[in-house]
Amino acid sequence: MKIGLVGLPNSGKTTVFNALTRGNAPTTAYSSGALDVHSLIVDVPDERLDRLTEMYAPKKITPAKVEYADIGGLRSDMERGVSITGEQLGLISTNDALIHVVRAFEDENIPHPLKTINPQRDIEVLDAEFLLSDLSKIENRMPKLEANLKRGKLLPSFESDQKEHALLLRLKEALDNDTPIRDLDLTDDERKLIRGFQFLTEKPLLILINMGDDGYPGAEAIKYPHQNSAVSAMRGRLEMDIVQLDEDDAAMFMAEYGITELSLNRIIHKSYTLLSRMVFLTAGEKEVRAWEAPLNAGAVTCAGVIHSDLERGFIRAEVVSYDDLIAAGSEAAAKTRGTYRLEGRDYVVKDGDVLVIRFNV
């Protein structure tokens, strides 16, 4: 799972990146506008792994991973608006989801490129740029499709070109009316048809309000009424400082500022929700491991996440929910209680299920 951080210059994007990754990427008071990308792969915090480790005493513990990419180089000002190069758009489009870091803090030493602090405006400014990018992709593709359709049914791709042309017209109409693609109810087949475009307004989006140390009074009033999207807030600079402290000092600062959970945990879980992802688990003396899979994936699909041989030779899955396993205290006790069970190919795996895949290749 790869998530890209985007935002206007001086929004505190790299500060947020450091807070989410416990990183130390350099932050500066003034955005240079240079194309600069910081990437870090971080472990997904999961208390379930700790409990399973106590139960199995494994030789190895492997949490799920998430990659964050801090994409710099955007320029903006009152006269020219936002400027995003093709290379920047390419880097943004490779992410599975986006976090738009929106400035909501005052600092006279860090000027806002649009002069004033106005989070709702900043959201709309970057949204408009992404809409234009998607429209440009469609307009560049249309002449080729229309030329193919004029050649008629003799062309092998005629039927698929027809479907793609009709779908792109529908998307163009939505974008012309300032509607992001994520708001459209597309079928799985339609999503596959446009996957190669990597449309920016189709990607799941988290609006992250970057507040000052004392918060931002208008944070709750900020709205983003779009599908597959969410709004959250954090005190970026404060949390960046906290994640660099040892456990005792971090707890003290969190208590002082009324922070009950670090944003690095909360944002990861929100990202999983937006991307319709879940985590299932495997546990044994060799390894306790968390695996990422699509929400509502079947047992065979999850077997393939572990290894292609398990998917190819799938026989059945031995399944127990994490809660049932912890309540029982051991696999043997879960089997006695009847909560450890056998499931077939069509079983829909749930978040937190502990699996053993039986296979034959």
Query: Residue 76 pLDDT > 70, yes or no?
Result: no
Give 201-227 pLDDT, tens digit per residue. 999 999 999 998 888 888 788 989 999
Is the CB of residue 322 less than 8 Å from the CB of residue 313?
no
Q: What is the pLDDT of residue 268?
A: 87
Domains of the chain by start residue, with CATH: 2-45+64-115+202-274 (3.40.50.300), 129-201 (1.10.150.300), 296-359 (3.10.20.30)
Confidence category of residue 79, pLDDT binned at 50, 70, 90 = low
Q: What is the pLDDT of residue 258?
A: 86
Query: Residue 172 pLDDT > 90, yes or no?
Result: yes
Q: What is the pLDDT of residue 153?
A: 73
Q: Within 10 A of 105 (CB to CB), how many other CB atoms are there?
A: 22
**What proportion of the chain, given as a percentage, has pLDDT over 90?**
70
* Coil, strand or helix at 187: coil
Q: How far is the CA of 224 from the CAs of 127, 239, 270, 305, in angstroms?
A: 11, 24, 15, 34
Distance from C-alpha of 94 to C-alpha of 79, rounded to nearest angstrom: 29
Query: Residue 160 pLDDT > 60, yes or no?
Result: yes
Distance from C-alpha of 36 to C-alpha of 47, rounded to nearest angstrom: 34
* Coil, strand or helix at 6: strand
Q: What is the pLDDT of residue 150?
A: 86
> Greatest CA span in the chain, whole angstroms?
72
**Beta-strand relationship, 229-234 and 205-211:** parallel
117 contact partners, CB below 8 Å, separation of at least 6: 103, 104, 105, 106
Give the mean pLDDT of the chain: 90
> What letter does residue 110 receive in the DSSP assignment?
S
Query: Residue 265 pLDDT > 90, yes or no?
Result: no
CA nearest 174: which of 149, 198, 202, 204?
202
- Mean pLDDT over residues 266-274, rounded? 88
- Mean pLDDT over residues 261-288, rounded? 91
Confidence category of residue 158, pLDDT binned at 50, 70, 90 = confident
Q: What is the pLDDT of residue 31?
A: 53
Tell me, what amino acid is at 7?
Answer: G
> What letter does residue 45 receive in the DSSP assignment?
P
Structure tokens at 223: 């709205």
Host H or E run for residue 7: none
More confident residue, 167 or 271: 167
Least confident of 22-36, 177-191, 324-338: 22-36
Tell me, what amino acid is at 202?
Answer: E
